[in-house]
Amino acid sequence: AQKVTQAQTEISVVEKEDVTLDCVYETRDTTYYLFWYKQPPSGELVFLIRRNSFDEQNEISGRYSWNFQKSTSSFNFTITASQVVDSAVYFCALSESNYGGSQGNLIFGKGTKLSVKP
């Protein structure tokens, strides 16, 4: 069965600190997709990144970086030099997907609430 665990319920940092949000997943499939979404107070889910299970390259986008390690079933998200605007709830999600085209559902972790204080 699929499962996503975000062990950190809430994190509070001071502006300019680096912060890492942890995500551990469970799946029996060899082909799957991992996602990070940001949910600001307004409520909409903002897509941040998608990573395919066959692509273990880490990715950097500005102040954001993601570390995907299949050996530990983890997909951690780091914000460098955090800013107040980074304050939000961040969700990690997993989807198993048949390569032939059928689509798996997105299974979410419970989210990590990040508060960045000035």
Partner 1 sequence: DGGITQSPKYLFRKEGQNVTLSCEQNLNHDAMYWYRQDPGQGLRLIYYSQIVNDFQKGDIAEGYSVSREKKESFPLTVTSAQKNPTAFYLCASSIFIRDRGLSAFFGQGTRLTVV
Q: Give the footprint of partner 1 on this chain (CB under 8 A).
A: 6, 9, 33, 35, 37, 42-45, 47, 50, 52, 91, 95, 97, 99, 101-111
Smallest distance from the beta carbon of 63 to partner 1, in angstroms? Answer: 23
* d(C-alpha 31, C-alpha 67), whole Å: 18
Smallest distance from the beta carbon of 64 to partner 1, in angstroms? Answer: 18
Nearest CB to partner 1, comparing residues 99 and 118: 99
Smallest distance from the beta carbon of 45 to partner 1, in angstroms? Answer: 4
Where does 6-111 show beta strands of DSSP type E? Answer: 10-14, 19-21, 24-26, 32-39, 46-52, 59-61, 64-69, 74-79, 88-96, 106-108
Nearest CB to partner 1, comparing residues 61 and 102: 102
Nearest CB to partner 1, comparing residues 76 and 95: 95
Nearest CB to partner 1, comparing residues 12 and 83: 12
Given a contact cutoff of 8 angstroms between Cβ atoms, the answer to whether 78 and 90 are in contact is: no
Smallest distance from the beta carbon of 80 to partner 1, in angstroms? Answer: 25
Length of the chain (residues): 118
| Cα→Cα distances 48→36, 65, 80, Å | 5, 10, 15
